[in-house]
Amino acid sequence: MAQKLQSIRGTHDLYGEDLRRHRHIADVARDLAGRYLFEEIRTPIFEHTEVFARSMGETSDVVSKEMYSFVDKGGDQVTLRPEGTAGVCRSVIENGMAQQAPLKFFYYGPMFRYERPQKGRQRQFHQIGCELIGVDTPQADIEVISLGARILDSLGVLRRSVLEINTLGDAESRTAYREALVKYFGGHSAKLSADSQARLAKNPLRILDSKDEGDRALVANAPIFGDFMNAASRDFFAQVQQGLADMNIPFKVNQRLVRGLDYYCHTAFEFVTNDLGAQGTVMAGGRYDGLIENLGGPKLAGIGWGAGVERLAMMLEYLPLAPRPVAIVPVSEAEHRFAQTLADELRRAGIIIDLAYSGNVGKRMKRAAALNARAAIVIGESEIQSGQAKVRNMDTGDESAVAFNQMAQALRG
């Protein structure tokens, strides 16, 4: 017996209201990004594995446990993209865009991570995101966070979220902090999880982000980064906070919010909510001034964020109604050719038309009601001969006679 075909665990079909939610989120984000002059970019869904390994770090959970990687028929090691930033940065390098900086990009599309599927987390999921490349001043951080806040506000999500921000400082500050963390966690290494023991030498900041309960108990007493910031880092962070305050974007400082790799610096931020249970982050980002250089490109500053569309879709309070069609109802098969021609003319005029393929008038009218049609045009032999038909308002039941050559104008009015 043939195996029943079904979707792979952690993936799902998008149609109906779910798809309309995704499209609404992407359309809102794309429109607002355009107001900030962010240009849409679409990078390949798969890249050479090294693009993500170098951008996310060999010891990160994503690289070590969650990436969909394979050897293709040409012998190349490739990976389905787990996030959007690395591909954008690779594109900037490969296409020689550095000379055009500042660069502002918006993206939307599917991402892939091998995780345990749960509410708000799928193995194939979708993200919206933005990257601002080539600006090393706080103004870029403020603009990127502002764009994120405006998108969340337009979706009705911002008021149920909290913006948490922190600073990772400059290289000098991070070096001092890293040494303090190595000293502290080194004195408790036996109590660290296996993952955190591996990170101690390479990426000690990642220990601060551990979900292991034993690690979290140690993290609670770990040194605070604020004690190791130099004056330049403090000033940069102060300017970011002032800019957000000027724009009336509420925030709170979370000194445990970190990004573990060395090319991350200064601002890190997340919009978090209590509405989604454990999956509380709806948008996350930060500054990555060393990433493009780490990928083999020029020294070029960058900051951006990504947001999970599935999580945002779960939080939408309002979804625009689907456009309502107009139903054309031929009385019999004899009028179907005329009805089909009229349907084509009205569709070319921008009107959404339903023309059922078969059935009597009663069945076709029931279909029109089921489709939430706003109007129905009943066409019989006498209507064709007179050059006009009655258009029924499906909400009120009122009917009015409209000439066929005036139909498009009447339906648009």
* Token couple for 212: 């292991």
Q: Cβ contacts of residue 328 below 8 Å, gap of 6+? A: 339, 342, 343, 346, 353, 354, 355, 376, 377, 379
The beta strands (E) that lie in 168-272 are given as 252-253, 265-272
| DSSP for 182-198, written as a single string | HHHHHTTGGGS-HHHHH
Mean pLDDT, residues 10-28: 94
State which fold the 326-412 domain adopts: Rossmann fold (3.40.50)
Helix (DSSP H) and strand (DSSP E) numbers for the chain? 15, 16
Q: Tell me the CA end-to-end span of the chain in Å, nearest whole number.
A: 57
Residue extents of the structural domains in the chain: 16-170+230-315, 326-412
Distance between CA atoms of 267 and 141, rounded to whole angstroms?
7
Q: Which string of b and e fits 129-144 if b means at least 16 CB within 10 Å?
A: bbbbbbbbebebbbbb
pLDDT in tens, 109-146: 999 999 888 777 899 999 999 999 999 999 999 999 99
Please answer whether residues 188 and 245 qualify as being in contact, where contact means their C-beta atoms are separated by less than 8 angstroms.
Answer: no
Interhelix angle for 138-154 vs 16-35, to 10°?
Answer: 140
Grade residue 328 by pLDDT with cuts at 50, 70 and 90.
very high
- Specify the residue for token string 């296996």: 194
Cβ neighbours of residue 305 under 8 Å, at least 6 residues apart?
129, 130, 144, 145, 148, 269, 283, 284, 285, 286
Strand ordering across the sheet containing 388-393: 353-354, 326-330, 375-379, 388-393, 399-403
Nearest to 310 by CA among 117, 68, 58, 168: 117
In 3D space, the residue among 93, 84, 37 whose CA is nearest the CA of residue 300 turns out to be 93
- Is-contact 133 302, C-beta < 8 A? yes
Looking at domain 16-170+230-315, which of 3.20.20.100, 3.30.930.10, 3.20.20.70, 3.40.50.2300 is its CATH number?
A: 3.30.930.10
Distance CA 118, CA 137 (A): 39
Distance CA(247)–CA(236), nearest Å, equals 17
Distance CA 408, CA 413 (A): 9
234: CB partners within 8 A, 6+ apart: none
CB distance 367 to 330 below 8 Å: no
Q: Look at residue 154 in the predicted model and tell me its pLDDT.
A: 96
- What angle is formed at CA 30 by the lines to CA 27 and CA 34, rounded to 5 degrees? 140
Tens digit of each residue's pLDDT (9 = 90 or more) over 53-110: 887 776 566 777 889 999 999 999 999 999 999 999 999 999 999 999 999 999 999 9
In the chain, % of residues over pLDDT 90: 69
CA 260 to chain centre: 22
Answer yes or no: are the C-beta atoms of 98 and 300 closer than 8 Å. yes
Residue 334: band (very low, low, confident or very high) from pLDDT cuts 50, 70, 90: confident
Mean pLDDT of 193-200: 86
Q: Which residues contact 404 (CB under 8 A, 6 or more apart)?
A: 342, 387, 388, 389
Q: Per-residue pLDDT tens for 353-377? A: 999 888 888 999 999 999 999 999 9
Distance (Å, whole) CA 177 – CA 185: 12
Q: How confident is the model at residue 343 (pLDDT cuts 50, 70, 90)?
A: very high
**pTM here?**
0.88
pLDDT tens across 248-299, in order? 999 999 988 887 666 789 999 999 998 877 668 999 999 999 899 999 999 9
